[in-house]
Amino acid sequence: MAIRERLSGNEAVAYAIRQINPDVMPAFPITPSTEIPQYVSTFIANGEIDTEFIPVESEHSAMSAAIGASAAGCRVLTATSSCGMALMWEELYVAASNRLPLALALVNRALSGPININCDHSDSMGARDTGWIQIYAENNQEAYDNFVQAYRISEHKDVRLPIMICQDGFITSHAVENIELIEDEKVKAFVGEYEPEQYLLNPQMPMAVGPYATSPFYMETKMLQNEAMIHARKVILDVAADFKEMTGRSYGFFESYRLEDADYAIVMIGSAAGTTKEAIDELREAGKKVGLLKIRVFRPFPGEEIANALKHTKAVAILDRSEGFRAGGGPLSAEVKEHLYDIHASTRAVSYIYGLGGRDYTTVEAKEVYRQLEDMIENGTNIPQYQYIGLRK
């Protein structure tokens, strides 16, 4: 029987960590992810798990220790947010290029400056090209479910890449929701034991990790990383299928909400999708054909699948919670538009920026986005092709 509980997103992720019982967790506190290592250290102190917790002097050290432990053959994780991830930057590339299957519980928070402790996606989007798999959650249930699936994806022999499990700071990390937990024994059986084929402490197979690569070797390394990211696409779907069989909860690259017959759609990531769903339901009652495509997997980016899911629409609004500073929208916008172009879709795509630094996003604003799309198509009105939502006047 599944377990009904009321947990915050941080508690939910920590609960999944307790059930998985990884070998090593190095961590350094930073708001709003601090609670995750706090809860894990409490589980360790209470004898509920035997994870080796390593308190370190910085986030750079946390990822460095995670890399060392993973290279030694351990199942490893850490947690961070915002400037903590920025301090890990060098090591993010090291983990990915060394093909180390470790997990990062990332609680999304705006990057400085100015200093801000609230949610946007500038931290994870800044790391989108480091070679990490990235999976995002709308709510606490998804944060928990995504973490339960993380190691099965990351450790797969055809992948062996680090993985970020992302959730929105404070909005989900600290808000308490009803969620459904899986029994401990089922989680342990689903995740399984980690048995790496190659690791530093294997005396039967001496190896080096992180050697210097000269020009004749470096480019091939990047190509192999890219192949692993391509392989991750199938693995993510296979793991999701097994997860659905265990829980009945279905996951894919993205979620379509009332999209099948929609003329106008919003594409976005994270907790604000729930607000958009409320606006969609209200507009549907008024006879408007509107829908949502909520991205779950950003790396590997399922571009062709996204484009095909949107190609029947007249217009789409792509909402980024991170500025791309390219004078044309954020990173999600750039990638969705690229793939719509690749399949020669007639869909008009408009870029929006919303929610930076925790700025509220409301159903009224979502409805206004749909109104603008309809006005552009039905009346030929010129609307800004790149604009901010909710700016103060």
Q: Are residues 235 and 307 in the same domain?
A: no
Structure tokens at 107: 């609680």
Weakest-pLDDT range from 198-202, 236-240, 346-350: 198-202
Q: How confident is the model at residue 245 (pLDDT cuts 50, 70, 90)?
A: very high
Looking at residue 211, its pLDDT comes to: 80
Asked if residue 226 is part of any domain, the answer here is: yes
Weakest-pLDDT range from 39-43, 133-137, 204-208, 293-297: 204-208
Domain endpoint, select from 208, 225, 247: 247
User: Which pLDDT tens digit goes with each residue over 83-132?
Assistant: 999 999 999 999 999 999 999 999 999 999 899 999 999 999 999 999 99
Query: Is pLDDT at 20 greater than 80 in this prediction?
Result: yes
Looking at the 3D structure of the chain, how many domains does it have? 2
CATH number reported for the structural domain that contains residue 53 in this entry: 3.40.50.970
Contact predicate 305/343, CB 8 Å:
no
Looking at residue 207, its pLDDT comes to: 87
Asked if residue 162 is part of any domain, the answer here is: yes
Looking at residue 208, its pLDDT comes to: 86
- Residue 364 domain boundaries: 254-388
Query: Is pLDDT at 355 greater than 80 in this prediction?
Result: yes
Looking at residue 1, its pLDDT comes to: 67
pTM reported for the whole predicted model: 0.97
User: Which pLDDT tens digit goes with each residue over 149-181?
Assistant: 999 999 999 999 999 999 999 999 999 999 999
Query: Is pLDDT at 26 greater than 70 in this prediction?
Result: yes
CA dist 141 → 6, 10, 68, 215, 263 (Å): 10, 11, 31, 45, 30
Q: Are residues 103 and 162 in the same domain?
A: yes
Query: Is pLDDT at 210 greater than 90 in this prediction?
Result: no
Asked if residue 393 is part of any domain, the answer here is: no
Structure tokens at 355: 């929610």
CA dist 37 → 23, 78, 292 (Å): 14, 8, 34
Structure tokens at 25: 């967790």
Query: Is pLDDT at 393 greater than 90 in this prediction?
Result: no
CATH number reported for the structural domain that contains residue 361 in this entry: 3.40.50.920
Expressed in angstroms, the distance from the first to the final Cα of the chain is: 52
